[in-house]
A and B are shown apart, each in its own frame.
Chain A
Amino acid sequence: NAGVMQNPRHLVRRRGQEARLRCSPMKGHSHVYWYRQLPEEGLKFMVYLQKENIIDESGMPKERFSAEFPKEGPSILRIQQVVRGDSAAYFCASSKRPTLGDEQFFGPGTRLTVL
């Protein structure tokens, strides 16, 4: 029973390039969450998606960041025109029935470094 998968595990981009981070939830989970962890800080919520829908994007920066969770395939977190401040670890989590109290299972994260 595979857990939450994220790829790539490490991503290096130059300023101005685009970064695409992928997350495959656990089998049977249709709820996906993205969190960002800056150095020496805790995880900060970014966005919550359910298949084809954005449920809560209150933690997403207003510009350059977008997320999707299509009917088929992984969830994608996309960062356009990256800047040095985007360097962080990005974690994805999935849940089966969050409204019934199911926990969130986390992936290994993608460490983004912007040069």
Chain B
Amino acid sequence: AQSVSQHNHHVILSEAASLELGCNYSYGGTVNLFWYVQYPGQHLQLLLKYFSGDPLVKGIKGFEAEFIKSKFSFNLRKPSVQWSDTAEYFCAVMPYSSASKIIFGSGTRLSIRP
């Protein structure tokens, strides 16, 4: 079955620390990949997406993610986090065969200490 695994349920960092959130998926075919963010009290917003081309994708607010096909991974990174990055982060996959159904990971809650 298709699935998305996010390795960390809750990550706590201090401001200015570097961030890497892990994401692995299980699907043998072509996929589109996403990272969504949900700030407290707000709805899901797209951080970045990968469809094709350069596997290093840059998104909003200084986030980037790298697609490593051989590892079925799409880890999210940010070199220096801010208190305002406190949110829940969801990795998601859309298999090409899915007719646009998105499969989400269980999410990683990121808490930033000021």
Is B82 among interface residues, defined by CB-CB distance under 8 A? no
Is B16 among interface residues, defined by CB-CB distance under 8 A? no
Q: Contacting A101 at CB < 8 Å: which of B32, B36, B43, B104? A: B32
Is A56 in contact with B43, judged by CB distance below 8 angstroms? no
Q: Contacting B102 at CB < 8 Å: which of A4, A40, A104, A107? A: A104
Is A103 among interface residues, defined by CB-CB distance under 8 A? yes
Is B51 among interface residues, defined by CB-CB distance under 8 A? yes
List B contacts of A98 (CB < 8 A).
Answer: 99-100
Q: How far is the CB of B95 from chain A (nearest CB, A)?
A: 11
How many chain B residues sit at the interface, stated as a range, is: 20 to 34
Is B61 among interface residues, defined by CB-CB distance under 8 A? no
Contact with A along B50-85 (1 / 0, CB 8 A): 010000000000000000000000000000000000
- The chain A residue sitting closest to B34, CB to CB, is A103
Is B44 in contact with A91, judged by CB distance below 8 angstroms? yes
Is B105 in contact with A42, judged by CB distance below 8 angstroms? yes
List B contacts of A108 (CB < 8 A).
Answer: 42-43
CA distance A95 to B46 in the complex (A): 13
Is A103 in contact with B46, judged by CB distance below 8 angstroms? yes
Is B104 in contact with A44, judged by CB distance below 8 angstroms? yes
Is A12 among interface residues, defined by CB-CB distance under 8 A? no
Is A48 among interface residues, defined by CB-CB distance under 8 A? yes
- The chain A residue sitting closest to B51, CB to CB, is A101
Interfacial residues, chain B to chain A (CB-CB below 8 A): 4, 6, 32, 34, 36, 42-46, 49, 51, 90, 98-107
22 contacts between A and B (CB under 8 A): A33-B101, A33-B102, A40-B106, A42-B105, A42-B106, A42-B107, A43-B90, A43-B102, A43-B104, A45-B103, A48-B100, A56-B101, A59-B101, A95-B100, A99-B100, A101-B51, A106-B43, A106-B45, A107-B43, A108-B42, A108-B43, A109-B43
